[in-house]
Structure 1
Amino acid sequence: MGVLMQRYSRLAIFLHWAIAALLAFQIAVGWALEDLGARGFALFQWHKSIGISILLLTCARIAIRYWKPRPAPVERGWQGALAKAVHAGLYLFMLGAPLTGWALVSTAKVKVPTLFFGIVPLPHLPLPMTAHELAEGGHGLIAWIGIALFALHVAGALRHHVLKGDGLLWRMMPARSPLWLAALPALIALGFVLGRVILPAPAPKAAAAPVLPAAVEEEEETPANAAEPADNAGNAAVPAEADNAAAEEPAGPPPSWAVQPGGTIGFYVGNGGETISGGFSRWTAKIAMDPAHPDSADIRVEIDLASASVGDSYKDGMLAGDEFFGAAAHPKAVFTAKGAEKAGANGYRASGTLTLKGVSKPQSIRFTLSGTGKARKVSGSATIARASFGVGNGDSSAGLDPKVSVSFGFSAKAE
């Protein structure tokens, strides 16, 4: 009986084993995605791309099923009916899981752009946001049903081939060879193992904070009468009031400083034991200040929020979305300050206002100046309470630290 058993077409055989290996990969990865948080972002993109691949391959498999003749059923009665039901369920699983996943992504509050294997953009489905919970619940339910059907399908095939000895598996082999019989089912195991191997390593319990430029910003809540930092010689810095009293009165308006190309504004935030770091590629600054008379300072910095990047196109799309910077409605963040005060030998502190996502709050920065004359280097930092501005207001931001460190550095010349 096994010798005379008709085989499926070679194309149908290829699609069968390719889909099976990809499903095994998806099952291995899907179990872990929810617990990975931001560390699983790249893997989540693979999960989506492979899901769409399964959808496309399944559509091709259905077309070939009616195009090429199929072998006749080997069993009738209730066993045959059960086999047909399992097959039908598997097709629904292979179509339903990718479609509900696509719907889940399309209706999520955070619009994460999807690129098919990082190349072809995949549009979101035109579904209402109210469908998100249904898509999420359906995706999880279909996945578990699919795993059960997958196991039943494998058990049924082994029952026929091993226990009944009718050679059923030869129908899904390109040739009657023990090599094919070993290699093709091994693809399923390989897909599962690969899905487990590429999972990110567990997050460390603690991670060192990034090294920021000199003059690291203290907490926003630092009292104004707190002790000033010591200067380079180890002596207490002269209080700003005494320093200003001893200095000569300014001879005229403070000089304006032109920011030179090559400056940077970066940000750092903790996320479950890791540190996410990024920066802004487009920003401008208008600065007027006499270093000898810091109270003369007039500072305005404008940051193009759409230029935020953490080095990953998918995450960058999230940063511009409403959960984080909301760049479409509020394209710029603006910091302004009138006046500054000494905070050490070469250090200064400026208290002003930060406007971000339509919210304006008091904000202070610290910075140091190095160099003399008309050429100076500036480095500094700030600590921003993100929740005050509605930055990171969704479920995907739950693991982020409440405060974000911002650092900046640039050269400036007096005009």
Structure 2
Amino acid sequence: MQRYSRIAIFLHWAIAALLAFQIAVGWALEDLGARGFALFQLHKSIGISILLLTLARIAVRYWKPRPAPAERGWQGALAKAVHAGLYLFMLGAPLTGWALVSTAKVKVPTLIFGTIPLPHLPLPMGAHELAEGGHSLIVWIGIALFALHVAGALRHHFLMGDGLLWRMIPARSPVLLAALPALIAVGFVLGRVVLPEPAPQVAVAPVTLAAVEKEAPANVAEAMDNAANAAAPAEADNAMAAEEPVGPPPSWAVQPGGTIGFSVGNSGETISGGFSKWTAKIAMDPDHPDSADIRVEIDLASASVGDSYKDGMLAGDEFFGVAAHPKAVFTAKGAEKTGANSYRAAGTLTLKGVSKPQSIRFTLSGTGKARKVSGSAIIARAPFGVGNGESSTGLDPKVAVSFGFSAQAE
């Protein structure tokens, strides 16, 4: 039986294994958080590799002689249609993926295997939804064609007994007959093995900049002015209470399940996310808020907006610069009462190596040793160098932050 050329055989099995890997990874990629960023880059690199290998396979198809068709009639026509569809799949899936990345609102640079830069295609932003839908559709059609191709080959080789698979094996060896098709299974298994554990879900309470601005002034100076004017009666009450001896404030242990979320406008839309890892040390007597001692540390690598490549951008130097500055820290000594259960704390926020005055507002509910805390703040991102590149031009200058948790007095 006439075989395909060795180079055609190599390209056939290499592309098949890479396609199996891509399918395995692609199914899970959208559910990953920041930890899926590197895998997303690998997915793009392998996609471009499949595109190049497919172009090479087409060239070889017309350069080297091919075996004659195994069937005629409608079965032969169906086999040709499946083959043609597979080539469209192997070309169309990488191209639509490339178009999808090129038209995304957040432009993520692509380095093929971390070394070769891949330029974005000159496509309008309005083509993003078309590229996204086309990529998904082509992939699902490709999976169906992939299954038909495998089923047809097995039918010929084992049910019809014509030894069709030997045409894609470089030598008549039972070992190669088993090993080469097994590469497809190996590719799929590797695609599942390399998947990181899904990032923990971040439960973020809805927060908008307008809602936070309605509750809180945008800077500490304004907060102090408002406190002096609007909260004068409360201050008088506090002054009278301060005359009484006050012991050290109780420490509060933050209970599991708390959230810190953020929201920022982006070209008319809103990007919302949160941090899944953070700690807080709080000492405060609600009746004597001036005794408060607050310190909150946020693991910036845990930031997520629910999109793997955007999460990867958050960790980069354009946004949080996690490699050099892994944590953001807010500290405050003392707070002031602004209402029955409302407080304001003026402190310092340290982010990306920059420390600036920052105020937060919060309310307490509950009594005794169990309290619930909810609050908000508005942070100007420019002074901290957050969003300092071309992909950030559409972002609003202020970010709304909200937080909520339960605390137990120790």
Gaps of 5+ in 1: 208-218, 238-267, 278-308, 327-340, 355-360, 366-382, 406-415
> 1: distance between equivalents of 2:2 and 2:86?
22
Paired AA for residue 190 in structure 1: V
- TM-score, normalized by length of structure 2? 0.57
Q: Does 1:116 align with 2:100?
A: no
Structure 1 pair 236–17 and aligned structure 2 pair: CA distance change class (3 A): closer
Deviation of 1:21 (Å): 0.3
Structure 1 pair 386–18 and aligned structure 2 pair: CA distance change class (3 A): farther
Deviation of 1:363 (Å): 3.4
Partner of 2:80: 84
Alignment of 1:20-99 (within 5 A): 20-99=16-95
Structure 1 pair 317–91 and aligned structure 2 pair: CA distance change class (3 A): same
> 2: distance between equivalents of 1:30 and 1:132?
18
Q: Does 1:364 align with 2:359?
A: yes
> 1: distance between equivalents of 2:311 and 2:32?
19
Number of matched residues?
Answer: 279
Alignment of 1:309-388 (within 5 A): 318-319=313-314, 343=334, 363-364=358-359, 385=378
- Structure 1 residue corresponding to 2:157, chosen from 152, 156, 161: 161
CA shift digits 1:68-93 (9 cap, x unpaired): 11111111111001100000000000
> 1: distance between equivalents of 2:170 and 2:349?
71
> 2: distance between equivalents of 1:235 and 1:320?
39
SS of residue in 1 equivalent to 2:33: helix
Gaps of 5+ in 2: 204-214, 218-222, 228-233, 240-245, 251-259, 263-272, 280-299, 303-308, 321-331, 336-344, 351-355, 361-375, 404-410
Q: Any runs of at least 4 consecutive aligned residues in structure 1 with deviations exceeding 2 A, and if so which? A: 202-207, 219-228, 233-237, 268-277, 314-321, 341-344, 349-354, 361-365, 383-389, 391-394, 401-405
Question: Does the 8 A contact of 1:7 with 1:170 survive in 2?
Answer: yes
Q: Which has the higher contact order (CA 8 A, sep 6+)?
A: 2
Paired AA for residue 47 in structure 1: H
CA shift digits 1:218-275 (9 cap, x unpaired): x9799966989xxxx96369xxxxxxxxxxxxxxxxxxxxxxxxxxxxxx97967744
> 1: distance between equivalents of 2:71 and 2:134?
32
Partner of 1:213: none
Partner of 2:283: none
Alignment of 1:138-217 (within 5 A): 138-204=134-200
User: Relative to total residues, which structure has the larger helix share, 1 or 2?
Assistant: 2
Deviation of 1:149 (Å): 0.3
- Structure 1 residue corresponding to 2:401, chosen from 403, 406, 413: 403
Partner of 2:327: none
Paired AA for residue 248 in structure 2: N
SS of residue in 2 equivalent to 1:80: helix
Question: Does the 8 A contact of 1:6 with 1:171 survive in 2?
Answer: yes
SS of residue in 1 equivalent to 2:148: helix
